[in-house]
Every structure is written in structure tokens, then in C-alpha cells.
């Protein structure tokens, strides 16, 4: 299947771009692997999340069973779609909720994070 492991130079170029531009709050949204999961890797800048959701028409249980040492939620190998909600009302830090939703509307898994976790550290401190 298509995965970052097949494209190590491109993966590093993306990480370098996030670091050099000091982009805050980056979360990758991906699909086309026919299952759902959330993965997290530590970059030089901050933890980077990849929320994968795909499979409205078909799934692949074998792909979902593949080892992933970076997985923090899932996998889910049923027909699904992804939902990203941002709660802007938080006084100290905005909250982001990532959910994989079954086609019947029930929640398969939820992963919550604070936007403050995905900010470039101030090097002057």
C-alpha cells in the first residue's frame, strides 16, 4: 500500500518544510488505505499527527492489521468516514477532536488533542 515508508525523502522534505516555516498546528489528513487510524511521530518541531480515514465503499482488513508503531488510535477496518472538530472556545488552548465514524453514525474511536501541543517552541526562552 502507499505509505510514508515508501517515500522517505518526501517525508523528510515535508518535516523540513514544517520546521523551516515554523508552521503551527499541522495535522495531516489522509486516506485511500481502506481503514482508519491516528498515528503520531515526533519531529524536531513538535509531535505530528496523521489522521487516516477511508473506506466509504470498501475496506481492507489486511492493511489495518499491518504493524504501525506510531498508532495512537484505531485501527478501524469497517466502512467509515473521518470527522475533525475544533473547539475554539477554550480559554487556554483550543481542543481538536478526531473521530472515525461508522457509516451508521456511531463513533468507532476518538482522539483528542490540544492545539497547544502542536506549536513551535520559542527558541528565545
Tens digits of residue pLDDT in 56-100: 888 988 989 989 999 999 999 999 999 999 998 877 788 999 999
CA-closest candidate to residue 59, choices 31, 97, 28: 31
Do residues 52 and 38 touch, judged by C-beta distance below 8 A?
yes
Enumerate residues 6+ apart whose C-beta is below 8 A from 120. 22, 23, 24, 45, 46
CA distances from residue 43 to 2, 54, 111 in whole angstroms, order as listed: 21, 25, 19
Q: Is the dihedral of CA 15, 71, 90, 46 positive or negative?
A: negative
Confidence of residue 122 (pLDDT cuts 50, 70, 90): low
Confidence of residue 120 (pLDDT cuts 50, 70, 90): confident
Rounded to two decimals, what is the model's pTM?
0.87
Q: Average pLDDT for residues 39-49, to the nearest whole number?
A: 89
Question: Does pLDDT of 125 surpass 70?
Answer: no
Amino acid at each position: 500500500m502507499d505509505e510514508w515508508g515508501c517515500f522517505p525523502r518526501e517525508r523528510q522534505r515535508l518535516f523540513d518544510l514544517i520546521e523551516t516555516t515554523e508552521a503551527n498546528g499541522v495535522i495531516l489528513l489522509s486516506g485511500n488505505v481502506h481503514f482508519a487510524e491516528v498515528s503520531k511521530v515526533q519531529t524536531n518541531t513538535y509531535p505530528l499527527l496523521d489522521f487516516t480515514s477511508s473506506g466509504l465503499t470498501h475496506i481492507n482488513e489486511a492493511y489495518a492489521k499491518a504493524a504501525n508503531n506510531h498508532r495512537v488510535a484505531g485501527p478501524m477496518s469497517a466502512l467509515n468516514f473521518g470527522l475533525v472538530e475544533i473547539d475554539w472556545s477554550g480559554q487556554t488552548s483550543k481542543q481538536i477532536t478526531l473521530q472515525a465514524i461508522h457509516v451508521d453514525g456511531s463513533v468507532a474511536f476518538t482522539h483528542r488533542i490540544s492545539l497547544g501541543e502542536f506549536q513551535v517552541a520559542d527558541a528565545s526562552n
